[in-house]
A and B are shown apart, each in its own frame.
Chain A
Amino acid sequence: MGFQVFLDIAVVALRFLLPIYAVVIVYQCYASMRRHRRPEKPLVTLELKGTEQQIPVLFWENSIGRSKGSDICVADPAVSRDHCVLLRRQEGWLISDIGSKGGTYVNGKKCRDRTQVLVDDEITVGSTTFVLKRGDEFQDRIRPSWFFSKASNKGSLQPYKLMLLITFFHLFMTVEACFTNEVQDFTPFSIFICLELVLWGFFLVSTYAFKRINFELEALASFLTGIGVILLVRQEMRSAYVQLIAAGIGIVLFCFLVKFIENPDRVNSWRMAIMIGAVGLLLVNLVFGTVQYGAANWIRIGSISIQPSEFVKVAYIFVGAAALDKLQTKRNFLEFIVFSAICVGALALMGDFGTALIFFATFLLIAFMRSGDFKTVLLALVSVVFAGTIVLKFKPYVADRFAAWGHVWEHAQDSAYQQARVLTYTASGGLCGVGVGNSYLKYVGASESDLVFGLVAEEMGVIVAFTIAIAIVGLAFYARAITTRSRSTFYSISACCAAGLMVIQLALNVFGATDILPLTGVTFPFVSAGGSSIIACWGLLAFIKAADERTYAAKRLSKHKEER
Chain B
Amino acid sequence: MKRIMTRSFLILIVTLAVVAGMCLLAFRVVTQNDQWVAQPYNGHVASSNGLAQAGSITDRDEVVLAYTNDNEERVYHEDFATRCALMHVVGDNSLNISTAVQSMYRGELTGYSFVFGLGVPKSLRTNNSIELTVDADACKAAYEAMGGKDGACVVYNYKTGEVLVDISTPTYDPQNPPEINEDNEDEYDGVYLDNVMSSSYTPGSIFKIITAACAIENIPDIYERTFQCSGEYDIDGEPITCENAHGTIDFTTAFAQSCNVVFAQLAVELGEEKMTETATKMGFNKSFEVSGVTLSKSVYNLENALGDNQIGWSGIGQFEDLANPMHMAIMCGAIAQGGTPVTPYLLDSDSSLLQKLGVTKAKQSEQMLSADTATKLQELMRSTADYYYNARGLTMGGLNFCAKTGTAETGEDKAPNGWIVGFTEDENHPYAFAVVVEEGGYGISAAGPVASAAISSLVNNP
Q: Quick one: given A432-B116, A433-B119, are A516 and B25 in contact (CB under 8 Å)? A: yes
B118 on the A face (CB < 8 A): yes
B414 at the interface (CB under 8 A from A): no
For window 506-528 of A, CB contacts with B under 8 Å fall at: 506-507, 510-511, 514, 516-517
Known contacts A59-B1, A429-B119; is-contact A466 B8 (Cβ 8 Å): no
B24: chain A residues within 8 A (beta carbon): 516
- 1/0 per position for B1-30, CB-CB distance to A under 8 A? 111111110111011011101101110110
Q: Of A30-38, A275-283, A378-386, A490-498, which stretch is located at the interface?
A: A490-498
Q: How far is the CA of A462 from the CA of B15 in the complex (A)?
A: 20
Question: Is there contact, CB below 8 Å, between A484 and B22?
Answer: no
Q: How large is the interface on B (under 10, 10 to 19, 20 to 34, 35 or more residues)?
A: 35 or more
The prevalent SS among residues of A at the interface is helix
Chief secondary structure at chain B's binding surface: helix
| Contact segment of A6-14, A128-136, A236-244, A329-337 | A6-14
Q: Is B121 part of the binding interface, using a Cβ–Cβ cutoff of 8 Å?
A: yes
Q: Which residue of A is nearest B18, CB measured?
A: A507
Beta-carbon contact of B11 and A426 below 8 Å: no
CB distance from A479 to the nearest CB of B (A): 7
Residues of B within 8 A of A511 (CB): 21, 25
The answer to whether the Cβ of B227 comes within 8 Å of any Cβ in the partner chain is no
Cα of A500 to Cα of B32 in the assembled complex, Å: 30
A12 touches B114 (CB 8 A): no
Q: Is the CB of A489 within 8 A of B4?
A: yes
Q: Shortest CB–CB separation between residue A226 and chain B, in angstroms?
A: 21
Interface with B: A90-98, A105-113, A289-297, A469-477, which one?
Answer: A469-477
Instruction: Kindly state the separation between the CA atoms of A421 and B46 in the bound complex, as whole angstroms.
Output: 13
| Complex-state Cα separation, A71 to B5, whole angstroms | 11
Question: B409 in the interface, Cβ–Cβ < 8 Å?
Answer: no
| Residue B124 lies at the interface, judged by CB distance under 8 Å to chain A | yes
Contact of B11 among A8, A69, A427, A476 (CB under 8 A): A476
The count of residues in chain A whose C-beta lies closer than 8 Å to any C-beta of chain B is: 73
Q: Which residues of A contact B116 (CB under 8 A)?
A: 430-432
> Which residue, of B25, B117, B124, has the highest number of chain A Cβ atoms within 10 A?
B117
Q: Closest A-chain residue to B10, C-beta based?
A: A368
Query: Interface stretch among B35-43, B64-72, B263-271, B367-375?
Result: B35-43
The answer to whether A428 and B22 touch across the interface, beta carbons within 8 angstroms, is no
Given the known inter-chain contacts A9-B124, A421-B41, A510-B22, please indicate yes or no for A15 contacting B119, CB distance below 8 A: yes
Q: Looking at the assembled complex, report how far the CB atom of B112 sits from the nearest CB atom of chain A, in whole angstroms.
A: 8
Contacts of A477 in B (CB 8 A): 12, 15
Interface residue? A480 (CB, 8 A): yes
Asked if B117 and A479 make an inter-chain contact with CB atoms under 8 angstroms apart, the answer reads no
Judge whether A80 is part of the interface by a CB distance below 8 angstroms. Answer: no
Task: Report Cα–Cα, A462/B30, bound state, in Å.
Answer: 10
Whether the pair A434, B25 counts as a contact (CB closer than 8 A) is no
Cβ A425 vs Cβ B11 within 8 A: no
- CB atoms of A12 and B18 under 8 A apart: no
A307 interface hit (Cβ, 8 Å): no
Binary flags per residue of A301-344, CB closer than 8 Å to B gives 1, else 0: 00000000000000000000000100000000000000000000
Q: CB < 8 Å: which of B1, B6, B25, B41 contacts A62?
A: B1
Q: Are B14 and A424 in contact (CB under 8 A)?
A: no
Q: With A434-B119, A443-B43 in contact, do A507 and B4 touch (Cβ < 8 Å)?
A: no
In the bound complex, CA of A507 to CA of B118 (Å): 27
What are the residues of chain A within 8 A of B32 when measuring CB–CB? 427
In angstroms, Cα B48 to Cα A350, docked, is 43
Indicate if the CB atoms of B3 and A372 lie closer than 8 Å.
Answer: yes
**Are A430 and B113 in contact, CB atoms less than 8 angstroms apart?**
yes
Contact in complex: A69, B22 (CB < 8 Å): no
B63 at the interface (CB under 8 A from A): no
Q: How far is the CB of A44 from chain B (nearest CB, A)?
A: 14
- In the complex, the chain B residue whose C-beta lies closest to that of A470 is B22
Instruction: Indicate whether A537 reaches chain B with its CB closer than 8 angstroms.
Output: no
Q: Which residue of A9, A427, A473 is within 8 Å of B33 (Cβ)? A: A427
Residues of B within 8 A of A427 (CB): 29, 32-34, 36-37, 114, 117
Name the one of A430, A440, A492 contacting B43, with C-beta atoms under 8 angstroms: A440
Cβ B36 vs Cβ A11 within 8 A: no
8 Å CB contacts to A: which residues of B86-124?
Answer: 112-124
Cβ-defined contact, B11 with A61, below 8 A:
no
Q: Contact at A8–B121, with CB atoms within 8 Å?
A: yes
By a CB distance below 8 angstroms, the chain A residues around B29 are: 426-427, 462
B1 contacts A503, C-beta separation under 8 Å: no
Measured between alpha carbons, how far is A8 from B121 in the docked complex, in Å?
A: 6
Q: How far is the CB of A491 from chain B (nearest CB, A)?
A: 10
Checking B1, B15, B39, B121 against A61 with a beta-carbon cut-off of 8 angstroms, the contacting residue is B1
A434 pairs with B118, CB closer than 8 A? yes
Chain B residues with CB below 8 A from A12, complex form: 120-121, 124
Q: Are A428 and B18 in contact (CB under 8 A)?
A: no
What are 8 contact pairs spanning A and B, CB under 8 A? Answer: A12-B120, A428-B37, A429-B118, A431-B116, A433-B119, A477-B15, A483-B4, A506-B18
